[in-house]
Structure 1
Amino acid sequence: MSTVEQMLYNIQKFQILSLFANDSANRTVSPAYAFAWDKNLFPVGSHGCDWHDAHEACFKIRKTQVDELAEFLDDLEREGKTISFYQLEDHYDVRSGSTWDRMDLVFVCRYFRLDGWFSEEFWKGMAGHSDCPSESHSILQDYEAKDVHFE
């Protein structure tokens, strides 16, 4: 990716997060969409706007990764199954240096939950108990303007 592409991505990210965090602005950016930009993950399923499409190569967590995880979780839920976060890490072989790391999985799962994907019971089965890493508990948290930090 070129320096210009990265600069345009950063400008777009700043504008989206600024709009989301501005208390006086009408909330036109969803928490899920702002979260995706904040955590540098491609916001699959965001049909209200296409601001992210031109920057696909700039996102740290790629569209293909997000799509594949969505499909995997969707298959589980359709079959009436649940998965713990540790099982999800094992499925993606996180401890052996796969393309996923723990926090990327947490971020994408939190994005899915914020965007209304899958049932609350599904998410509680993954991260709503003591048999999961503490980082995964954030999947169940909302994302608000006060969570945006420009540091």
Structure 2
Amino acid sequence: MSTADALPVTWAPRRTRAVLVPMSVLLVIVFTVIAFALPANWHLNDRVAMVVSGLLFAGVALMLARPRVRADAEGVTVVNFVRSRRLAWAEIVRVNFRAGDPWVVLDLADGTALAAVGIQAGGGRDRAIAAARTLRDLVDGHHAS
């Protein structure tokens, strides 16, 4: 079975998500409880600000849990913290994951580079190396055809 037969495939830092998603829920709960537990001399707008603060912190945590890389027959979708980018296979020149790099970097045909944060060393260096090799093999396989 070739590497292309395994498509679609998605890589994401699962440990990071496993920590950040529950933490987001916990942040909203804690800030809401604090808002209701404030002394009586605190105004409604102070309480609302506490709940909104919890929602903002949770939103940032969820944003940090967003990164993923998804490869399918047509190309690769890179979802980073704020932006997403869809790439055709022909747009990817090389997949780089050098020693010390926090995540994979894709060299693109237009001369730019794109961080693929969804494949990162933080979730385990060996797992990230295997994912980078698989993505590299997929890129090479699509360039050969």
TM-score strictly above 0.5: no
Q: Which has the larger radius of gyration?
A: 2
Higher helix share: 1
